[in-house]
Structure 1
Amino acid sequence: MSKYLVNKFLYTIDRDPELVERYREDPEGTVAWWEAEKAGEILNLPSGERTTWLSFTDEERQALRTHDHVALFAMGAHNFLTLTLWIAMFERDFTEPLGMQLDYAAKLSHFALPYPDIST
């Protein structure tokens, strides 16, 4: 897994409210668009130049498309990046205080120390 590429996706989506909404409403399209159009900007590649390093694996792509923060964490995505993005996308769907955060944590509760390596 390219933890850097996945983390960069999460970070850049989270920093743009329009992209947050786009990713919430059309995760498959957003992941495909970002991978095709934005991943190359990470290394400032000339237009049209590609490298396999700037592609998600099938497993990463699936987890991103399905908003599966548990799978992303298991693969080494940084939990703070998924948490802040998930708050922006899903907190509004919960009525109780901290409901989204508690749900997020509950879904990760089966992990024990040592946690997956989140370093890039």
Structure 2
Amino acid sequence: MSKYLLNKFLFTVDRDPELVERYREEPRATVEMWEAEYANRILGCHTGESSTWLRFDDVEREALAAHDYPKLFELGAHPFLTLTLFIAMFERDHPPLGFQKEYARRLSHMSLPYPDIAT
């Protein structure tokens, strides 16, 4: 498991409106494409520099493909990254602040100490 890679996915997808829409409409295909094309790019570097070892495990891949943000939080994904991305994808389907309330409701089973979000 790699909290770094989960957070990198959430961060990079959230900053690209086309990827946000693609992830909303085709989550599994987007996760597979992102893992193949973006996972091993070094953040902040020019193209051409990459690593070769970063991969999602099956649990991470399935949570991302299912838009399962409570599971992502349990896996250690940063809650601000999940919240901002999922607001971008699903706020339009809810009344004002409706998605934020749904997010809080679905995470309400969590209690302190929260999962470690350090990468």
Per the TM superposition, whether the score is higher than 0.5 is: yes
The structure that is helix-richer by fraction is 1
Tell me how far 1:88 sits from its aligned partner.
0.2
Tell me how far 1:40 sits from its aligned partner.
1.6
- Which residue does 1:79 correspond to in 2? 79
Secondary structure at the residue paired with 1:40?
coil
- Which residue does 1:109 correspond to in 2? 108
Report matched runs for 1:1-120 at 5 Å: 1-42=1-42, 44-45=49-50, 50-51=52-53, 54-95=54-95, 97-120=96-119
- Residue identity opposite 1:36 in structure 2: A
CA distance in 2, matches of 1:21, 1:13: 9
Secondary structure at the residue paired with 1:42?
coil
Q: After TM superposition, where is structure 1 displaced by more than 4 Å over at least 4 residues in a row?
A: none
Tell me how far 1:69 sits from its aligned partner.
0.3
Tell me how far 1:42 sits from its aligned partner.
2.3
Tell me how far 1:113 sits from its aligned partner.
0.6
- Residue identity opposite 1:104 in structure 2: Y
5+ unaligned residues in a row in structure 1: which ranges? none
CA distance in 1, matches of 2:18, 2:70: 24
CA distance in 2, matches of 1:103, 1:81: 16
RMSD: 1.1
Tell me how far 1:50 sits from its aligned partner.
2.6
Secondary structure at the residue paired with 1:39?
coil
Secondary structure at the residue paired with 2:113?
coil
CA distance in 2, matches of 1:57, 1:92: 31
- Residue identity opposite 1:13 in structure 2: V
Q: How many residues align?
A: 114
- Residue identity opposite 1:98 in structure 2: L
CA distance in 2, matches of 1:11, 1:110: 25
5+ unaligned residues in a row in structure 2: which ranges? 44-48
